[in-house]
Amino acid sequence: MHPILFRIPVPNWNVPGVGPLHETFTQGNIPIYSYGVMLGLSLVVGWYLTLWLAEKDGLPKETMANCYVVTALAAIVGSRVLYVVTNLEEFNGLGDFFAFRRGGLVAYGGFLGGYLGSWGYLKLKKIPLMPWADIAVPSLASGLAITRIGCFLFGCDFGKPLGDGAPEFLKKIGTFPHWAPGMVDRGDGAPAWIQHVNSGLIDHEATHSLPVHPTQLYESLVGLALLGLLMVQRKHQRFRGQVFMLFAFAYGFARFLLEIVRDDAERGLYGPELGAHILIPGSLALFAVGYSIGFANGIPNVTMRRLTQALSFVPALVAFLMMRPASFMSASIVQLSTSQWVGVLTGVAVSVAYMIFWKAAEAHPAEAMMINLKAFHAAEAAKANESNAEEPERDEDEDGEETEKPRTKGKKKGKKSSKEPIDATFDDEPEASSEKNKSVDTKTEDEPEAPRKKGQVVDATFDDEPEASSEKDKSVDTKTEDEPEAPRKKGQVVDATFDDEPEASSEKDKAVDAKTEDEPEAPKSDDDE
């Protein structure tokens, strides 16, 4: 095994003080641990895989990238915390908590920590959790496949001793060496060698440990299998969260089985002490019940679904027959590990959730696959509006001075707000009318006014009166709320002799005919003379 992949040479400085930094520079090299390298590689691979899936599902790529960073940091902290809780005797101070290069991370702690970290971040960003969980769990599967190789190189998380009938290649792989003194600060050999020496199974002079199950490689293969299963499930996904739930159940079941053959003391044992033929088969039966009520619904063929439901109880039956003692007194008393308890509880929980989500997807298939990002987009739009509001528009007056002009929300080109008063007194520019629309065209500041025709005059008789519109609308279109239109007296005619105010007449409305220069004058009668 190779706990240290390589060393970076540095000047052999005599650094005063104590701690890892002093020891590193005094020894003249920086060790690069295999577990740390594999952990970093898994994070890089997971990064690209997650962002690729986020882009395919239409999730905001930048936000998902930030969420991945938060999730990864929370996962590392969670995995370390669970390891510390289960191995308090190994830690003498706060500095030991941050010694990640030597290993000491629990996968389930990382899953729980990452889940809480992503949940908090996505809640802040108003993004639903399940779509993110679906694209994140494939990176967890790839991370298992990579980091467990680091565990194998370091020698941690090893299994129970192999029997004499085990294949020779498996014995060769599962044998861990006695390291050279001072290679690492955790002892003079691989964790399996140290445990076998302390247990009296081998002599201190032995060069290798007993052949054990390489459970690190077993779990690495489980990670690869889960990655393939999840990618296939994505092609047949029925609701958001389905990929995540499948991973939680499948990994919980596989991890429970792997823990049966693991033998490292670091995993921690909790709960009641019961006979192995009761505790382990009973736990496997819970997984079978969970599969039957939940995940079996994903099989469309009724016959195949019922067959798999029946076969799901086979592992529990086989475990009972293998662990059944010859007599009650000879029963093997065991406890479940931390990971086994977490696997059973999460397996049952996601099975119930899967059943609920599946029924909802059957009732509303389109809604089940929707990614509701309305709240997220609304929050982003609000931020954009706030940023625009901080930069008010400026207008220049006649003196060349800039004056601030407030931005009007909801204002569209060619339309005015009902609450915005309309100035009906114009000095030089008339307002264009339209016979086709039978109403006065109210223009915005951005639209140029219609050019004045030759001979067109402007009615400047009434300073306070707005122009009249058609009888069809039964109201004056250009009135303000504060300035009512003055009533027109009987016999009052519209003065069309001034150049400053146009006439807004309508043939349909039978308004006063305003004469223009192009219209011939009516002949005078004899009575008029």
Taking the model in full, what pTM does it have? Answer: 0.68
Q: What DSSP state is assigned to residue 14?
A: -
pLDDT of residue 307: 96
Instruction: Specify the DSSP element, H or E, that contains 83.
Output: helix 61-86
Alpha carbons 262 and 259: distance in angstroms, whole number? 5
Please state the domain extents for the chain.
4-160+213-269
Listed residue (107, 109, 120) closest to 67, CA to CA: 120
**Which pLDDT belongs to residue 345?**
94
**Residue range 413-424: mean pLDDT, rounded:** 42
The Cα 246–Cα 229 span in angstroms is 9
pLDDT in tens, 268-319: 788 888 999 999 999 999 999 999 999 999 898 999 999 999 999 999 999 9
pLDDT band (50, 70, 90) for residue 436: very low
In angstroms, how far is the first alpha carbon of the chain from the final one? 128
- The residues with which 62 forms a beta bridge, in sequence order, are none
Q: What is the pLDDT of residue 391?
A: 58
Sign of the Cα pseudo-torsion (143, 149, 155, 161, in order): positive
Q: What is the DSSP letter of 312?
A: T
pLDDT in the model for residue 187: 60
Let me know the angle formed at the C-alpha of 359 by 358 and 364, rounded to the nearest 5 degrees: 95
With contact defined as beta carbons under 8 Å apart, do 349 and 367 qualify? no
Q: How does the average pLDDT of the chain come out, rounded?
A: 75
DSSP state of 150: H
* pLDDT range class, residue 529, cuts 50, 70, 90: very low
| Distance, CA of 137 to CA of 71 (rounded, Å) | 11
- Cβ-contact 515, 498 below 8 angstroms: no
> With 0-12 CB in 10 A as exposed, 13-18 as middle and 19+ as buried, what is 259?
buried
- Whether the CB-CB separation of 262 and 337 falls below 8 Å is answered with yes
d(CA 95, CA 7) in angstroms, rounded, equals 22
Cβ-based burial of 137 (10 A; exposed 0-12, middle 13-18, buried ≥19): buried
| Cα–Cα distance, 473 to 476 (Å, whole number) | 8
Residue 241 neighbours by CB distance under 10 Å: 22
CB burial of residue 287 (10 Å; 0-12, 13-18, 19+): buried
What token pair was written down for 303?
A: 């016959």
φ, ψ dihedrals at 374, nearest 5°: -60, -45
Judge whether 376 and 123 are in contact, CB under 8 Å.
no
β-bridge mates for residue 439, sequence order: 434
**DSSP strand pairing (333-337 vs 4-9):** unpaired
* 164-216 residue pLDDT tens: 889 999 999 999 988 877 666 556 778 889 889 988 999 988 889 999 999 99
Cα(525)–Cα(104) distance, integer angstroms: 116
